[in-house]
Each structure stands twice: as structure tokens, then as C-alpha cells.
Structure 1
């Protein structure tokens, strides 16, 4: 049944030789790797207005110079990550750049930040998309968490089906969103140019505003920079591109930068000219669309495509998180299971882990996007700063031909990214303080995992392993609960191995059962020694384990191996297991952690 459901949801398994067919062309890559960055224009400009509103609506004209500052940072990041793509064509992005140029500790900070950021990408994107839906249909507002969880499950299943299949489906909503916003910007600016929009809706640029300060403007700039999250995803996912992968990734990155700058600047201008003020239950994009078109088909088209891309922007996390996890796993900082490809040649363990962690986050924050965005932005600007700084070090050390312009670009990017990071900590500390706790914890876990793998490798290596003691014979201990075909089958198996001795062990809870069973056993298997261990506290494991320890001490003196043979019957149907005590499974689980004891399970399959 499980296999049938799995095939229905994710499709037939793919051969390893079909991996090349799972590579992305530029148009599909732009859709799934840029969806996070493009979707952030739906809430980035709104974050600027929320900060300016603390002064007054008259301060909204400052959103224009702040927007220009965000575009300057975007340009620096695009040019910088373009350099990273060619310098590190095997992917890894900020983690690899920081690790190779700044050292392992900064690399782990970048890697840990990005892992958390991609989890936040899914949670923020789906929560924001749910907000867009509930803005259009307020009656659904009370069900926002359930709606968000449903969408996460859908995207997780879609990604488990493979990169190309998910890209083919997701490309349409992304390009429809771009089309919808471009139409909205075009019509909106045309109405402004023709005088259809009243000048009284906004204050003139340059109007003095009491209470404005440099600190507040920097705070608004930092908040608006949340629109740049996801810019790094393409540099992490270079292996997903068709050859020549670096060239295709670089072109996709530039296309994303152009689209992002157009959409972001257009929404900032429309919000200013139409005098849009942030509201709790209605997004800025929703207000702009209603102001331009009214509540007609075009309004619902814009809201629908906005909701779709906000939800599907989570796919950027699903594209980048597994590949980053592969790099960390190869360096032995997270479990190796993240390097294993699934049935559809995607890194299924990374995809499933991302989905589960995102759902936990959505439930913890009750789907409140505004609570997640600051933490989300910090999680990506820390790697931004480290990767830019790493490239600075790289150019300064190597000094290749034409390195000075590259050095200047990375210097600008590093400086602005650092300022944005500091501003988030200064202005939104109550929302981002948790990163100061969980990031060190993540790095600590990284080091513990690395230490474990190194210890395992050292112990398994033949050159350093302890000498193996020779085995001169075998003593088999057979726990029994009655005289059945299961026990008979297990005894026959044990005898076939010709051990030095077979000891059957029976643990009765009542004293009178002891003599009765010994009499029956003498008739059943007189040549197999039986040991009965009365258990007044009704525990099977405690007396059994004490007996095993006693036998093991004596066997060790003669270099004999102790093997515990566990009889187990297997019901014909899986659900039948809940009708039986799983004593065999419990004993096996406990015995696995006892040194120098071999456990053998002898299954007996029932026919009905």
C-alpha cells in the first residue's frame, strides 16, 4: 500500500543515467530559482512604508530614495554573485566562498545561516501567499495556518517528483505574476502620467517631515532590503543547470536582477503616487491593484498570481536547501543521508526535512509573516556579508588580471550588507535575537557531527583499530516464551550452525509455571539445556540480560562468542502486529547496545 501511494504521489523511479535529463534550461531555472526574489517585491516595499509610517504618511516620499538605495545594493549583489558563479562553478555559494577564503568557522556561519534561511524562505513565502489569499477572501483568515501547511505539503510532494517536473509546473505561475505586475505598473504609471491620479494623494518629493532621522531611514532601508532575499539561490544551485552550467547560471542571474529591479521600483513608485498606507489585513499590492483597477477581474488576477508566486517562492528553498545540505554533508558537518539521491534523482532527505521544519515554524509563529521577515532577512544578509568579504580576500590574495573592479564591487556589496545586518540587529532586536542563540547551537551541532564522523572513521580504519580477538566457538542463548513452531524453527536453525552449546532461557512470572514448563521442555527438546529465571517483578529483560552477562564472562575466558537467537513470528498482514506484544523487537533493540553480543532474529511467517 505504501509503495502504491508513493508511486502515485512522486512517480516511477528514475535511473542514475537519467540525471542529465533532470538539468534545467534557463527559462525554467529562472522560474524556480528566482521565484523567492521576485515574490519578495510583494512585501519588500511594504516593509519600507511600515517603518516610515511611524513618523507620518507625509514621510512616504522617502520610499523613493530608499528604493534607489535598495537597487544599488541589488546591483552590487548581482555583480558579486555573478563573479562567485564563475569562481565556484560547482555551487555552494556563500558557504563555499566563506569556507575557502575566510576559514571554516565563517563558512559554517554562512552554511548554518543559509540552512535556517531556506527554512524561513518556505515559511515566509507560504505565509505571505496565504495573506494574499485571505486579503481577497477575508472569511478564510481564521484558517490561514491550515492553508499554509496544505501548500507546504503540496510543494514538498511536487519537489519529490524531480527538478524538471516541478520547474515545468512552476514556470507558468511565475511568469504570469511577472506579466500581471508589469501590466499593473504600466497602467498605474500611465494613469499618473495622464493626470488621472490626484496629486493630493501624496506629498511632494523633498517635503520637510518633522521627526525624520538618519537612523529611521537606515531602518527603513534595512527593512526594504528584505526584497533581496533569494538573490544567492542561483549561485548555490549551479549543478542544476544544463551545460555550460556557469554561463547559463550567470545569464539567469542577470535576468533575475533586471526583472527584480523593474518590479520593485514599479511597486515603490505606485505605492507613493497612489498614497498607499500599510494595513494589517490588506497587503500593499492588493491596495494598489484595487486603486488602479477596482475589484474586477484584473484585481483578482493580480491577487491570484501574487498569492501563487508567494506560495511557490518556497520552491527556491527546495531547490537550494538540498544542494547546500549536500556540500555540508560532504564536509561531514550534517548527516550523510543528505548526499543520497531519491527515486526521482532529487535529494529527497533534504526536501522532506525542509518541509517538516517549515511546517513546525509556521505553526510556532501562527503564520504571521511580519514576525518572520526580520529573522528571514538577517539569515540571508549574514551570508551576504561573509560571501562578499570572502571574495574581497580572494581577489586581494590572487590579484588576477582585472581584479580591481571586482574588488570594488565586492567592497560595496560587503559594506552595504554589513550595514543592513547591523541595522536589523539595532532596530528589530526583539524579533531577531533568537539568531544569536540558535546559530551558535547549529555550529556546535555541526562540530559534534564532524567529531563523530572522525571518531567513527578512526575506529573503523584497519591501521588504527584494536586487534580483533579470535573466536574459538559459539554459545547460543535462545529466549523462549512457550513450546511452539516458532521456537522449534529457531532451535533447528541454531543447531545447523553447530555451536558449542545452546541454552534456552524461559522467564516465568509465577513460581508454579516454572516446574510445569521444565517438564514440557524435557519432552520437547531433551538435548537442549533449559534455564528458567523466575521474575517476581514481571520483567523479561532484566533477568535475561543478567544471565547473558554471566554467560558472556565465562565464554570470554575461552574466547567463545555469545549469540542471542530471538524467535519472532511475522503476521501475514501488517496491521496484525498491533494485536501482539512486540517483545522480540524490544529485546533486539536493547541488546544492540550491549558490547560483544551478536543478535540473530529467526522469523517465522504465519500463513493466515
Structure 2
């Protein structure tokens, strides 16, 4: 029974719906629809969270070492000895970033990461920049990770090289479908492959350590030829910084957990923080180990065989079962790295949509309580990038990481600002901000120093990346991010302007209810749908004019004869159209009538429309009603009303 709330002016009815979505092919593909009340049950624990949010960061161990070596190759193989010291510096930066984001997780348990931190502490423009940088990073994560995963497959099966872009797009579509089933289900589906990768990498690195200590590790057998992808140059500061900036791709994905804190079970902050520490420890250990042993075996960076492939076949003594399992595990984790983006980007897009910086549709939760529109949009844009760059990791990497370190810098600068504000509070004082609650912390100064130092380090890395990678394609990202910020501003302005125009503040009295209708009924021919529309028009007004645009004299005579029989005395206006135009003469006539209307008069255009039994049958008709509707919607002071007439199997026009 409906629940009724009454006051002196209005009756409000509440009625629970009994409708449940039917089982369709979508149910089979995406799973049964979930109600809003199921949202708390769709959260994940730390083990599943590691699979969902850490796959991006962990997968970077598969290509970060190779990207360092690709740059150092410009100075010859002798420069490869600098790879491990560079990796140590990158891990040191990882520690700083991890400590900063661990603080962010506890300060902002509602998620949002760099965007929310920047919005609350630095202002609207820095927040838009952070949002643009993060979205760019998430899109490139999908493109780079899947392309790198396909590169592992091509290393084992070189015959697939010419099909790598199409294979990558197919894999993006597969991950998209899994994520459309919901974060809990996608996390459970990807947990086993994630831990399979960790098991194989621990086994491979452990075996390499045992063989290295025993002196039996050896060198790569038949390494690929050294590819000079960059101009030959001597070992110098610029080359070292260039290699360092390429290797910092290992840090991509560290921010993902802070963006998706709300996906964790309660206590959210604690579970998310522990997962972040697990992830960083595993990432740093694997990255250092792979870089160290790649130097010891003489691995060569190549597009035809990855460094991981050379490392695995050297450690496992050829392309046997363990090698294939390692390559399979690496390929899977690289593809799964996209899952981090599919978990983080839609949530970020929803926050941006709620604040009015991107289309509102991106804040819509689908049947499985995930942001379906954001997931589909991410997959589409990433697929376009993959096709444009032919799934080349080396081609995509220069576009990567600028957005990451820009968001790192803004996030840590925002956190430093937050600690500064906290330091100005009294011990018993609390201040509520949009994204968090500020209360005094006696260690605010130390935390501010940590975040300030982290912001300085990541800002330096970002500048190094921009300079060293500028000619390789980084200039494109430096243009893209400002374009996105301008787009955000334009969308935000539109929503603000729309809200102002629709606002009821200072609106005055409600619209008058004593207005009269003048009805115009477009008539292309006289049939049951026309009479159905005429019947509806009579309920609105007695002032009805049927209008027929004449493009065929024979058809005019037929319309006149039928209207005399079926029109019920309603006047018929014939408009001659010597140039066989239909819409324009009708619009001109209505504009003339509109110019003459009285202040309390509404012009209503009642458009007849017959609906075929099957949707595809619409293609067989001219869709005059649709064109009229689209044309009239742009005319002020005119109401457009469709009157559909559903055709049965045996019914035909008169």
C-alpha cells in the first residue's frame, strides 16, 4: 500500500515498486541486477583489493626495467650497468610516494585521491588539473598494459606480431565486460591470476638468486640484436635522467588505492592502507630483483623479445614449462593491470560528474552497481590509442607517467596544505570540509614536511620527464591536459548556467494555468494514426488546424477527399511547396502563427506517429514525425507532442 505524507499544501505519495528487471541476454552477460541496498555487500577485502588495485603497479615490473635499458642502449651495452642504481633511486621515490598516499587514505576515507585532495586544499583549477592528469594516466595504463601483455605473447609466438593491435583491442573488450559485472565479481575473477603471477615471479626470482649465488645463472642464450631506438650519445646526466624518467613508470598505479578506498570493507582506511603497503613492498622488491638479474644475464631490450622473456628462459633453462608459465603469468598480470584503471577511472569520473566537470551520465551506476558509462568510455578511448600506436609499448611510454607525477605532485602539495591548516586549529577544534574532517594532530608539522618533500621530489621527476621525453611524444600530453581542463571548465560553466536558468529562486509566481491552446496538426496523409492524433488534439482545444505540405498535387487531392470524410469539420491548411521541401515550409508556417499568438496562448504541435510492430521496420519509413519533432524543438514558445499509434499485425493505413 502507498505511504501517504500530508501537510497543509501538498500530498506526497510513496509507493514501493514491485517491478524486477527481467532475465535477458544482458543477465547472462553481466549477471543479475543488484539493488541499491546490495552496495555494502559489494565491498572487497585486502586480498581481493590487492588483486584489483595493485595489478597496475605490480605489472609495471614487466616493462619498467626494459624501458630503462632502452634509453641506456643509446650509449651502448656498457651503460646497462647504470640500470640498477637508477632502480634504487626509483624505489626510494616509491617509498616517499607510498608514505604520502598512506596518509591520504586515512585523511580521505571517501576516496578520490589527488582530485579530492586538490579540490579541498588547493582550489578548483588544481583539482581540474589533477582530474585531467589522472584520467590521462588511467587511459594510458589500459593502452600500455595491454600492449605490453600482447608483447609477451608475441615474444613466445612471433607469428602474431602483425596482429598485436587487434589482439590488444580484443583483450580490452574482455576486461571491460568482466568489470561491467561489478567490482566484487571482477576482483574475485582476477584474484587467482594475480597471485599466480606473484607465485611465478617469486619462483623465478628465487631460482635466479639460488643460481646466481651458486655461480650457475649464466648469460642469455641467443639474445635479440640491440635495437637503437634513440640517437647514439655518450653517458651523461641527460641520458641518466632520461632513463630514470622512463623507469619511473614502475610507480604508476600507486595512487589507485587512494582513489578507490570506498571499495574496501570497513574499516576502509585501515584495510586500504595495509593493502597499499603490501603492494609497495612487493613492487619494490620485484623491480629491484628483475633489474639486478637482467644486468647479470646480459638482457637486451628489444621489441621482438622482452627483457622478462629473456630473464625467464635464462633462469629456467630454455622455453620449457616454467618459462611458458612465467610468460603466461606476466601476460595475464599486464592485461589485468587494466583492471586497476577500470576500477579507478569510473569512480574518478563519477566524482568529476557530481561536481559538474564531465557529463552527468558518468555518475550513473549500472545494474551491477558500477559506473557502466565510465567503464565503456575508458575501453573505447584506450582501444583507439592502441590502434593509433599499433600496440607499441615503446611508442606509448613517452605519453605515460607525466599525468601520474603531476597528480602525485598536486596530491602531496594538497596534503601539505591540509597539515598546515590542521596546525592552525585548537586541540579541541574540528572543521568539516567537503571531503574530510579536520581536527588537530600534534604530529602535523612532521607530516607536512613528509608531504612537502614528496611534492618536491615528484615535481622534479615530472619536469625531468617533460624535458627528456618531450621529443618522444610527451608534448602531446602537455597539450592534452590543458585541453581537458578547458573542456572541464566549459562543461562546468554549462551546468552552472543551466542551474541558474532553471532555478526557482526569485522566480516569482507559478506559471498561469488559464492559458488556451492553439493546436497545429501536421498531416502527411490521412490514416488511423492521423485520426488518433486528431482525437487527442480535440482534448486540448477546439482551435485546431490540420496542415498538409503539398509536394505532390495528386496526393493533395487524396488528402482533401479523405479529410472531408474523416476530419470532423476541422480546417485543413494546404501549403504549396514547389521545391518539394517538407520541413522548412511547415516551420515557416508555425513561425508565422507563433509571431501572432496572444500572451496567454500556447501553440501545441501534435505530431502523429505510427509505430511498426518491429523496430527494424522503422527503417522502411521516412520518419516524418521524428524530423518534425527535431525541427520544432528549437522553436521557443511551442510545445511538441507525439501521439504514437501502435500498429497490430493485421492493421493497415486507411
Question: Which structure 2 residues correspond to residues 475-514 of structure 1 after superposition, within 5 A?
Answer: 475-497=518-540, 499-514=541-556
Q: CA deviation at 1:583?
A: 1.2
Q: Which stretch shifts more, 93-102 or 317-326?
A: 93-102
Which residue number in structure 1 is paired with residue 400 of structure 2? Answer: 376
Which residue number in structure 1 is paired with residue 44 of structure 2? Answer: 24
Which residue number in structure 2 is paired with residue 237 of structure 1? Answer: 260
Which residue number in structure 2 is paired with residue 598 of structure 1? Answer: 639
Alignment of 1:151 onto 2:171: yes
Counterpart Cα distance in 2 of 1:104 and 1:451? 13
Which residue number in structure 2 is paired with residue 444 of structure 1? Answer: 486
Question: Which structure 2 residues correspond to residues 31-110 of structure 1 after superposition, within 5 A?
Answer: 31-110=51-130
Question: Which structure 2 residues correspond to residues 186-201 of structure 1 after superposition, within 5 A?
Answer: 186-198=206-218
CA RMSD after TM alignment: 1.8
Give the conservation status (yes or no) of the 8 Å contact 2:544–2:570. Answer: yes
Output one character per residue of 1:51-92: Cα deviation in whole Å (capped at 9) or x when no partner: 111112112121111111011001001111000011111111
Which residue number in structure 2 is paired with residue 219 of structure 1? Answer: 242
Question: Which structure 2 residues correspond to residues 236-255 of structure 1 after superposition, within 5 A?
Answer: 236-255=259-278
Question: Which structure 2 residues correspond to residues 306-317 of structure 1 after superposition, within 5 A?
Answer: 306-317=330-341
Note closer, same or farther for the CA distance 1:49–1:93 as it changes in structure 2 (3 Å cut). Answer: same
Q: Give structure 1 stretches of 5+ with no counterpart.
A: 203-209
Query: Given the two structures, how large is their TM-score scaled by the length of structure 1?
Result: 0.95
Give the conservation status (yes or no) of the 8 Å contact 1:510–1:536. Answer: no
Which residue number in structure 1 is paired with residue 363 of structure 2? Answer: 339
What secondary structure sits across from 1:53 in the alignment? helix
What secondary structure sits across from 2:596 in the alignment? helix
Structure 2 residue corresponding to 1:325, chosen from 349, 353, 376: 349
Give the conservation status (yes or no) of the 8 Å contact 2:104–2:258. Answer: yes
Q: CA deviation at 1:549?
A: 1.1
Output one character per residue of 1:110-156: Cα deviation in whole Å (capped at 9) or x when no partner: 11110111111111111111111111111111111111111111111
Counterpart Cα distance in 2 of 1:573 and 1:510? 29
Runs of 4+ in 1 over 6 A off after TM superposition: 199-202
Counterpart Cα distance in 1 of 2:334 and 2:514? 64
Which residue number in structure 2 is paired with residue 472 of structure 1? Answer: 515
Q: CA deviation at 1:252?
A: 0.4
Q: CA deviation at 1:192?
A: 0.9
Give the conservation status (yes or no) of the 8 Å contact 2:220–2:299. Answer: no
Q: Which stretch shifts more, 428-437 or 236-245?
A: 428-437
What secondary structure sits across from 2:518 in the alignment? strand
Give the conservation status (yes or no) of the 8 Å contact 1:471–1:561. Answer: no
Q: CA deviation at 1:565?
A: 0.7
Which residue number in structure 1 is paired with residue 310 of structure 2? Answer: 287
Which residue number in structure 2 is paired with residue 565 of structure 1? Answer: 606
Counterpart Cα distance in 1 of 2:77 and 2:537? 85
Counterpart Cα distance in 2 of 1:79 and 1:375? 26
Q: Which stretch shifts more, 383-392 or 508-517?
A: 508-517
Which residue number in structure 1 is paired with residue 442 of structure 2? Answer: 401
Which residue number in structure 1 is paired with residue 290 of structure 2? Answer: 267
Q: CA deviation at 1:519?
A: 3.5
Note closer, same or farther for the CA distance 1:130–1:3 as it changes in structure 2 (3 Å cut). Answer: farther
Counterpart Cα distance in 2 of 1:60 and 1:568? 73
Which residue number in structure 1 is paired with residue 12 of structure 2? Answer: none
Counterpart Cα distance in 1 of 2:539 and 2:73? 83
Output one character per residue of 1:277-335: Cα deviation in whole Å (capped at 9) or x when no partner: 11121110001011111110001001001011101100000110011112111211112
Note closer, same or farther for the CA distance 1:397–1:151 as it changes in structure 2 (3 Å cut). Answer: same
Structure 1 residue corresponding to 2:505, chosen from 463, 475, 486: 463
What secondary structure sits across from 2:216 in the alignment? coil
Which residue number in structure 2 is paired with residue 385 of structure 1? Answer: 409
Counterpart Cα distance in 2 of 1:198 and 1:364? 39
What secondary structure sits across from 2:299 in the alignment? coil
Counterpart Cα distance in 2 of 1:466 and 1:61? 77
Structure 2 residue corresponding to 1:435, chosen from 477, 489, 511: 477
Give the conservation status (yes or no) of the 8 Å contact 2:362–2:374. Answer: yes
Give the conservation status (yes or no) of the 8 Å contact 2:389–2:395. Answer: yes
Tell me the matched-pair count. Answer: 598
Query: Given the two structures, how large is their TM-score scaled by the length of structure 2?
Result: 0.89
